[in-house]
Amino acid sequence: MFLRLFPCLALLALGLAACNRHAPESTAKSGSPTIALVVKTLNNPFFIDMQAGAEAETKRLGVNLLVQAAEREIDVERQMQIVENLIERHVDALCIAPSGSREIVPVIVKANRAGIPVLIIDTRADEKALAAAGGRIAAFIGSDNYDGGRIAGAFVAERLGGSGAVAVLEGIPGHETGDARLRGFREAIAAAPGIHIVASQPANWERDQGFNVCQNILQAHPDVKALFACSDLMALGAVEAIAAAHRTGQILVVGFDALPEARAAIKQGTMAATVAQFPQKMGELAVANAVKALKGEAIPASIPVPIQLVK
């Protein structure tokens, strides 16, 4: 009886082993520090580039990297769950691109209590909420989104010759990154009295929503001459809506992030410009400074990454 059961038991053991097998999570030997990179989503080329930069730096420095993200940028709750799980796992450092500037604060505080240094990337944590909660971060690494919005607005004003109707596709309402870009854009547009923003609506960073919102705007405001989207994914959705309305070439479209597809659209003439950030550099700097923080070395509270208009 035992001999007949033995092959079955062996197969069962192999099956269980296969079920418990995990893909490698680190880029270095075990025993090295583990740095967790939590981005908003890995469905966006911007954050894929950020991951690539972080991976290259972890290989160079010989530390481990763990990358996680929610499926959608708007899933703030899921991102918070991910960070809480990483704190429970006792990762050595956290590098986070927050989906919610205020929502991230409680998990930053939890990480502080666990003795885990936190570096914030791309989108700032709400400074007032963080101070009120007694939280702290080791550094912020990112671009000046306000200045990027201002550059985009100045470009639109110049290309329109100082007059015309403009539409805006916003990110997630209350999201620091999008809000800063909007403030900069609106300030630049305000300097040209003949230009009016006739519509400004959220499209939540997503291409499909960029398409749908732009369609509605074009129907309500057929006189729109330019459109600024707070991200390239939304801008590319707007380009598709403009093409569906047979108005390609009639509306100036400016995006933000300089994704490869946006750069291609500029060459094709369906987009006019985009504001380039350097997410790969952000990823590199996040890992490099996380390692410094773990060694007890001083790092700057704010580490700027340059921006550039691509047209």
DSSP 3-state assignment of 34? strand
Please state, in angstroms and rounded to a whole number, the distance separating the CA atoms of residues 242 and 246.
6
Q: Quote the pLDDT of residue 19.
A: 33
Q: How many Cβ atoms from other residues are within 10 Å of residue 24's Cβ?
A: 6
Q: Residues 6 or more apart from 18 whose CB is under 8 A from it?
A: none
Amino acid (one-letter) located at 231: S
- At 247-290, the pLDDT tens digits run 999 999 999 999 999 999 999 999 999 999 999 999 999 999 99
Superfamily of domain 145-276 in the CATH hierarchy: Response regulator (3.40.50.2300)
Q: Quote the pLDDT of residue 122.
A: 95
CATH match of 24-143+279-305 with 3.30.70.20? no
CA atoms within 13 A on the CB side of 220: 12
Q: Quote the pLDDT of residue 173.
A: 87
Q: Which two tokens stand for residue 127?
A: 């400074």
Q: Quote the pLDDT of residue 8.
A: 41
**Smallest Cα–Cα separation from 250: which of 158, 155, 182, 165?**
165
Instruction: Assess contact for 230 and 182: CB atoms under 8 A.
Output: yes
Q: Residues 6 or more apart from 240 whose CB is under 8 A from it?
A: 211
Q: Quote the pLDDT of residue 30.
A: 59
Q: Which two tokens stand for residue 29?
A: 């030997």
Maximum CA extent, the chain: 91
Domain ranges of the chain: 24-143+279-305, 145-276
Q: Quote the pLDDT of residue 7.
A: 40
**Residue spans of beta strands (DSSP E) within the chain:** 34-41, 64-70, 93-96, 118-121, 139-142, 163-170, 194-202, 224-229, 252-257, 273-276, 302-304, 308-310
CATH topology match: 24-143+279-305 vs 145-276? yes
pTM of the model: 0.84
Per DSSP bridges, beta strands 302-304 and 252-257 are unpaired
**Smallest Cα–Cα separation from 98: which of 141, 64, 152, 65?**
141
Parts of the chain with a pLDDT under 70:
1-30
Please state, in angstroms and rounded to a whole number, the distance separating the CA atoms of residues 126 and 104.
8
